[in-house]
Structure 1
Amino acid sequence: MQNALKFPDVLRLIDERATAFGALIASAPSLDAPVPSCPGWTLFDLAQHLGAGRRKWAAVVAAGPADAPPAVSSTAPRQRDDLVAWWAASAQELLSALREAGSDRGCWTWWADSQSPETSGAAARHQLQEIAVHTYDAQLTLGAPQPLPDEVALDGVEEFQLTCCSTTVAWPHEPAVVDYHAIEGISLRLRLSADGARAIRWEAADEEPDASLRGTASDLVLVFYGRIPPEALELKGDPRIFDQLAAWDPSV
């Protein structure tokens, strides 16, 4: 399955979403505002999480192939101007590591059992989604949520299924076929069975799915990350499968 975005485009979009997140932190009335989509977190907590995580992934990419991620610790400053600068530096640290590594260099990942490769390119692709969704979280906190940008969302529909859903761990429920249709023109099929979960591009119906979701690419990605419920989209078939998917942790 081919990556819909070229590596330079992924880096460009990471930079764009990082800039958008920084602007939200800079303009927020209070950094103590609770984040509705991340229960228990304030806007400051969200910035701390996002910045520290990007510094960790910068180190992961820079380290190259490894059996475990390097130990990285970073604490965000409380003062707003310092926090904005710290976040910008965190994002640029990640981008610098990705540019230096290129798209094909191996690195540690937590998704070794998935369909995504263990490379810096796959890491960049997932980092884009992490930053984009948390930018949505910040927008939601400020009362002005926006759809994910089209390029980001269209790649995210596929990226989530390949990285976060596909696995060789046995599906613990009845076998199922789930289809996801983005109205912008991409469809994914996820097969769930005793052999695990595998995602493919869907182009022609060789069998009816047990459940399906149709909506914008942005809404699909937001469903995948638990930001909106599946029922907010056009849902057909057995809705219990989406609850089972949300609750499933193949690592347990």
Structure 2
Amino acid sequence: MWQVKDYESEIETEAARLAELAGDVSVPVPTCPGWTLAELITHVGQTHRWAVHVLRNQVQERIWSRQVPSGLAEGQSGDAAWLLSGAGELLRTLRETDPQLPVWTWGPDRRASWWPPRMLFELVIHRADAELALGLDPVIPAALAADGIEELLHNLPSATWVTRPLAELGVEGATIHLHANDADGEWTITQGPAGAVEWARGHAKGDAAVQGPVSDLLLMLYGRRSPDALTVYGDRALLQRWLAAAAF
């Protein structure tokens, strides 16, 4: 489905990039309202430790990331060293785990192979959050961004915190078309019943269509880039309402 062949190497790269940004961790992160860089770093590192716990213990039932020990004292935030330590444990665990191992996930695939792409794009988006907080323009390679779009769309129907607000929009049957102008990538999202989301690759006409660099399309889907920064055709109001409801 996706173009990334070595998730572990990409995770290692992204974790190092995020750690490099963790200088003044008191900086607010506008794309994660209420967070500073300290809270963003802590969230990402805790997510890594959660994945390690699920995989090493072959967890079969839902467990929240906050239920997994972080190694931090009460009220303490993570720093760059703590982040890299957790990322190292995650990488070792992913490399040692059979991808076919049945484990719990919140997505549609209940195997260990679900975790590497999810952990990668969790890092990519939060690295972008840190860069935006510091006034930097995130750079996401086109192939990686295209994979990120498909990874999100693949998991979106299982994200109940997204499908519930989507169901309340009352736009069943509406379509949104995404067209990358710097890579081979086009996708059409169709809003289904009860908040369900379907998607397909390829050219199609949507009720709303967005064209732009594939990295900006990815950031838009995650609520990190306004559609105003891209070229929008058709029903702009539908697009904005859908993006607000699908905020991840």
Sort the TM-score into its range (normalised by shorter chain).
0.7 to 0.9
Query: Which stretch of structure 1 is more off in the superposition, 12-21 or 162-171?
Result: 162-171
C-alpha contact 2:3 2:144 (8 A) present in aligned 1: no
Q: TM-score, normalised by structure 2?
A: 0.84
Note the C-alpha offset of 1:167: 7.3
C-alpha contact 2:177 2:209 (8 A) present in aligned 1: yes
Query: Superposition pairs for residues 42-121 of structure 1, below 5 Å?
Result: 42-64=36-58, 66-69=60-63, 71-74=67-70, 76=72, 83-112=79-108, 117-121=109-113
Partner Cα separation in structure 2 for residue 79 and residue 194 of structure 1 = 43
Partner Cα separation in structure 2 for residue 146 and residue 130 of structure 1 = 14
Q: 2:215: which partner in 1?
A: 218
Note the C-alpha offset of 1:76: 4.5
C-alpha contact 2:179 2:187 (8 A) present in aligned 1: yes
Note the C-alpha offset of 1:69: 2.3
C-alpha contact 2:106 2:159 (8 A) present in aligned 1: no
- Which amino acid letter does the alignment assign opposite residue 150 of structure 2? E
- Which amino acid letter does the alignment assign opposite residue 193 of structure 2? A
CA RMSD in angstroms comes to 2.7
Partner Cα separation in structure 1 for residue 246 and residue 178 of structure 2 = 20
- Which amino acid letter does the alignment assign opposite residue 192 of structure 2? S
Q: 2:187: which partner in 1?
A: 188
The match for 2:147 among 152, 155, 161 is: 155
The match for 1:246 among 229, 238, 243 is: 243
Query: Which stretch of structure 1 is more off in the superposition, 62-71 or 236-245?
Result: 62-71
1:9-46 deviation digits (Å, cap 9, x = unpaired): 11111110001111111xx2x22111122121111111
Q: 1:123: which partner in 2?
A: 115
Q: 1:13: which partner in 2?
A: 10
SS in structure 1 opposite 2:176?
A: strand
1:138 aligns with 2:130: yes
Partner Cα separation in structure 2 for residue 79 and residue 189 of structure 1 = 43
Partner Cα separation in structure 2 for residue 201 and residue 187 of structure 1 = 6
Q: Percent identity?
A: 30
Partner Cα separation in structure 1 for residue 59 and residue 33 of structure 2 = 35
Partner Cα separation in structure 1 for residue 191 and residue 30 of structure 2 = 31
- Which amino acid letter does the alignment assign opposite residue 197 of structure 2? A
The match for 1:179 among 177, 180, 183 is: 177
C-alpha contact 1:177 1:209 (8 A) present in aligned 2: yes
Would the alpha carbon gap of residues 144 and 35 (structure 1) be closer, same or farther in structure 2, given more than 3 Å must change? Answer: same
Would the alpha carbon gap of residues 226 and 95 (structure 1) be closer, same or farther in structure 2, given more than 3 Å must change? Answer: same
Note the C-alpha offset of 1:131: 0.3
Q: 1:228: which partner in 2?
A: 225
Partner Cα separation in structure 1 for residue 28 and residue 230 of structure 2 = 26
C-alpha contact 1:178 1:189 (8 A) present in aligned 2: yes
- Which amino acid letter does the alignment assign opposite residue 83 of structure 2? W
Partner Cα separation in structure 2 for residue 181 and residue 65 of structure 1 = 39
